[in-house]
Structure 1
Amino acid sequence: MASVTVLCTTSVPDHVRGALTRWMIEPTPGLYVGTLSARVRDELWRVVSASIESGAAVLIHPEQNEQGYMLRTAGERRRIPVDFDGLTLVAFRPEEFQKPTERI
Protein backbone atom coordinates (compact mmCIF):
# COMPACT_ATOMS: atom_id res chain seq x y z
CA MET A 1 0.00 0.00 0.00
CA ALA A 2 1.32 3.45 -0.89
CA SER A 3 1.90 5.99 1.89
CA VAL A 4 3.23 9.51 2.33
CA THR A 5 7.00 9.77 2.44
CA VAL A 6 9.12 12.82 3.30
CA LEU A 7 12.74 13.16 2.21
CA CYS A 8 14.95 16.10 3.13
CA THR A 9 18.29 16.59 1.38
CA THR A 10 21.26 18.93 1.76
CA SER A 11 23.91 19.45 -0.94
CA VAL A 12 23.10 16.42 -3.07
CA PRO A 13 24.13 16.12 -6.74
CA ASP A 14 21.73 17.45 -9.39
CA HIS A 15 21.10 14.01 -10.89
CA VAL A 16 19.78 12.82 -7.50
CA ARG A 17 17.44 15.81 -7.28
CA GLY A 18 16.21 15.02 -10.79
CA ALA A 19 15.53 11.40 -9.90
CA LEU A 20 13.58 12.45 -6.81
CA THR A 21 11.39 14.92 -8.70
CA ARG A 22 10.22 12.13 -10.99
CA TRP A 23 8.45 10.51 -8.06
CA MET A 24 7.91 13.30 -5.53
CA ILE A 25 7.10 17.01 -5.42
CA GLU A 26 9.64 19.55 -4.14
CA PRO A 27 7.60 22.20 -2.27
CA THR A 28 10.78 23.91 -1.04
CA PRO A 29 14.41 23.30 -2.12
CA GLY A 30 15.69 20.02 -0.74
CA LEU A 31 12.33 18.86 0.70
CA TYR A 32 10.52 16.10 -1.20
CA VAL A 33 7.06 14.74 -0.43
CA GLY A 34 5.24 11.94 -2.19
CA THR A 35 2.95 8.96 -1.96
CA LEU A 36 5.18 6.00 -2.72
CA SER A 37 5.01 2.25 -2.48
CA ALA A 38 7.56 0.61 -0.18
CA ARG A 39 9.43 -0.77 -3.18
CA VAL A 40 9.80 2.62 -4.90
CA ARG A 41 10.67 4.32 -1.59
CA ASP A 42 13.40 1.79 -0.81
CA GLU A 43 14.87 2.03 -4.31
CA LEU A 44 14.93 5.84 -4.18
CA TRP A 45 16.62 5.71 -0.77
CA ARG A 46 19.21 3.27 -2.11
CA VAL A 47 20.05 5.70 -4.94
CA VAL A 48 20.11 8.74 -2.64
CA SER A 49 22.26 7.14 0.07
CA ALA A 50 24.72 5.76 -2.51
CA SER A 51 25.07 9.15 -4.26
CA ILE A 52 25.14 11.43 -1.24
CA GLU A 53 28.84 12.46 -1.62
CA SER A 54 29.39 15.37 0.81
CA GLY A 55 25.67 16.02 1.33
CA ALA A 56 23.15 14.59 3.75
CA ALA A 57 19.63 13.16 3.61
CA VAL A 58 16.85 12.20 6.02
CA LEU A 59 13.96 9.92 5.06
CA ILE A 60 10.77 9.64 7.13
CA HIS A 61 8.08 7.12 6.21
CA PRO A 62 5.22 5.27 7.94
CA GLU A 63 6.15 2.05 9.72
CA GLN A 64 4.36 -0.50 11.92
CA ASN A 65 6.01 0.46 15.22
CA GLU A 66 5.20 2.42 18.39
CA GLN A 67 5.89 5.80 16.78
CA GLY A 68 4.16 4.99 13.52
CA TYR A 69 7.13 6.06 11.40
CA MET A 70 10.74 5.18 10.56
CA LEU A 71 13.63 7.63 10.30
CA ARG A 72 16.67 6.93 8.11
CA THR A 73 19.72 9.13 7.59
CA ALA A 74 22.68 9.23 5.22
CA GLY A 75 25.74 11.47 5.13
CA GLU A 76 27.38 13.55 7.83
CA ARG A 77 24.93 15.23 10.18
CA ARG A 78 25.16 16.65 13.68
CA ARG A 79 21.85 15.04 14.61
CA ILE A 80 21.96 11.25 14.92
CA PRO A 81 18.92 8.98 15.32
CA VAL A 82 19.33 6.69 18.33
CA ASP A 83 17.15 3.70 19.20
CA PHE A 84 16.03 3.96 22.82
CA ASP A 85 14.04 0.87 23.80
CA GLY A 86 12.22 0.80 20.46
CA LEU A 87 11.73 4.57 20.15
CA THR A 88 13.81 6.63 17.79
CA LEU A 89 15.21 9.70 19.48
CA VAL A 90 17.57 12.30 18.05
CA ALA A 91 20.92 12.90 19.74
CA PHE A 92 23.35 15.69 18.97
CA ARG A 93 26.92 14.80 18.12
CA PRO A 94 29.30 16.82 20.33
CA GLU A 95 30.80 19.81 18.53
CA GLU A 96 34.39 18.70 19.17
CA PHE A 97 33.74 15.73 16.86
CA GLN A 98 32.41 17.95 14.08
CA LYS A 99 34.51 18.60 11.01
CA PRO A 100 35.98 22.11 11.19
CA THR A 101 34.34 24.54 8.77
CA GLU A 102 36.23 27.12 6.79
CA ARG A 103 35.63 30.70 7.75
CA ILE A 104 35.79 33.41 5.14
Structure 2
Amino acid sequence: MVIIILENVKPSLKGELSRWLFEIKSGVFAGRVSALVREELWNLIERKIGKGSAVMIYAQNTEQGFGAKTFGVPSRTLEDIDGVLLVKIQQ
Protein backbone atom coordinates (compact mmCIF):
# COMPACT_ATOMS: atom_id res chain seq x y z
CA MET A 1 0.00 0.00 0.00
CA VAL A 2 1.23 3.50 -0.83
CA ILE A 3 -0.23 6.90 -0.02
CA ILE A 4 1.03 10.10 -1.68
CA ILE A 5 -0.08 13.58 -0.65
CA LEU A 6 0.68 16.50 -2.96
CA GLU A 7 0.42 20.24 -2.20
CA ASN A 8 0.61 23.08 -4.73
CA VAL A 9 1.45 21.00 -7.82
CA LYS A 10 0.39 21.25 -11.44
CA PRO A 11 -2.71 19.31 -12.52
CA SER A 12 -0.60 17.43 -15.07
CA LEU A 13 1.39 15.74 -12.27
CA LYS A 14 -1.84 14.70 -10.56
CA GLY A 15 -3.04 13.30 -13.88
CA GLU A 16 0.09 11.22 -14.32
CA LEU A 17 -0.23 9.78 -10.80
CA SER A 18 -3.91 9.00 -11.34
CA ARG A 19 -2.87 6.47 -14.00
CA TRP A 20 -1.35 4.33 -11.24
CA LEU A 21 -3.12 5.36 -8.04
CA PHE A 22 -6.65 6.23 -6.93
CA GLU A 23 -7.13 9.96 -6.12
CA ILE A 24 -9.36 9.73 -3.04
CA LYS A 25 -9.34 13.49 -2.47
CA SER A 26 -7.70 16.33 -4.34
CA GLY A 27 -3.95 15.72 -4.04
CA VAL A 28 -4.31 12.50 -1.99
CA PHE A 29 -3.48 9.29 -3.83
CA ALA A 30 -3.62 5.69 -2.59
CA GLY A 31 -3.02 2.29 -4.12
CA ARG A 32 -1.02 -0.89 -4.24
CA VAL A 33 1.99 -0.89 -6.55
CA SER A 34 5.32 -2.71 -6.59
CA ALA A 35 8.39 -1.16 -4.97
CA LEU A 36 9.82 -0.48 -8.44
CA VAL A 37 6.71 1.40 -9.58
CA ARG A 38 6.59 3.27 -6.25
CA GLU A 39 10.17 4.49 -6.71
CA GLU A 40 9.54 5.46 -10.33
CA LEU A 41 6.48 7.46 -9.27
CA TRP A 42 8.58 9.19 -6.60
CA ASN A 43 11.25 10.03 -9.22
CA LEU A 44 8.50 11.49 -11.42
CA ILE A 45 7.26 13.61 -8.51
CA GLU A 46 10.78 14.89 -7.77
CA ARG A 47 11.23 15.91 -11.43
CA LYS A 48 7.85 17.61 -11.87
CA ILE A 49 6.94 19.00 -8.45
CA GLY A 50 7.96 22.59 -9.16
CA LYS A 51 7.39 24.71 -6.05
CA GLY A 52 5.01 22.21 -4.47
CA SER A 53 5.61 19.51 -1.90
CA ALA A 54 4.96 15.80 -1.52
CA VAL A 55 4.77 13.16 1.19
CA MET A 56 4.79 9.44 0.45
CA ILE A 57 3.91 6.78 3.01
CA TYR A 58 4.41 3.13 2.12
CA ALA A 59 4.34 -0.29 3.74
CA GLN A 60 7.74 -1.33 5.07
CA ASN A 61 9.07 -3.91 7.49
CA THR A 62 9.85 -1.50 10.36
CA GLU A 63 8.72 -1.13 13.95
CA GLN A 64 5.95 1.24 12.82
CA GLY A 65 5.04 -0.87 9.79
CA PHE A 66 5.63 1.93 7.28
CA GLY A 67 8.27 4.16 5.74
CA ALA A 68 7.91 7.72 4.50
CA LYS A 69 9.60 10.29 2.26
CA THR A 70 9.10 14.01 1.80
CA PHE A 71 10.14 16.36 -0.99
CA GLY A 72 9.78 20.08 -1.48
CA VAL A 73 8.86 22.46 1.32
CA PRO A 74 6.02 20.79 3.24
CA SER A 75 4.42 22.39 6.29
CA ARG A 76 5.57 19.32 8.24
CA THR A 77 8.71 17.26 8.01
CA LEU A 78 9.60 13.76 9.15
CA GLU A 79 12.35 13.19 11.70
CA ASP A 80 13.87 9.73 12.17
CA ILE A 81 14.61 9.32 15.87
CA ASP A 82 16.23 5.94 16.59
CA GLY A 83 14.31 4.29 13.75
CA VAL A 84 10.94 5.82 14.65
CA LEU A 85 9.44 8.50 12.38
CA LEU A 86 8.08 11.58 14.12
CA VAL A 87 6.37 14.61 12.59
CA LYS A 88 7.94 18.04 13.05
CA ILE A 89 5.74 21.07 12.37
CA GLN A 90 7.57 23.86 10.56
CA GLN A 91 7.15 27.35 11.97
Match of 1:61 in 2: 58
Higher RCO structure (Cα 8 Å, ≥6 apart):
2
Q: TM-score, normalised by structure 1?
A: 0.83
Match of 1:98 in 2: none
SS of the residue corresponding to residue 85 of structure 2 reads: strand
Long gaps (5+) in structure 1: 96-104
Match of 1:82 in 2: 79
Shift of 1:14: 2.0
Q: Percent identity?
A: 34
Match of 2:10 in 1: 13
Greater Rg, structure 1 or structure 2?
Answer: 1
Q: TM-score, normalised by structure 2?
A: 0.93
SS of the residue corresponding to residue 45 of structure 2 reads: helix
SS of the residue corresponding to residue 32 of structure 2 reads: strand
Q: Which runs of 4+ in 1 moved over 2 A?
A: none
Match of 2:21 in 1: 24
Deviations 1:23-59 (A, max 9, x none): 0111111010111000001000110022111111110
Task: Write the distance in 2 (CA, Å) between the matches of 1:78 and 1:9.
Answer: 12
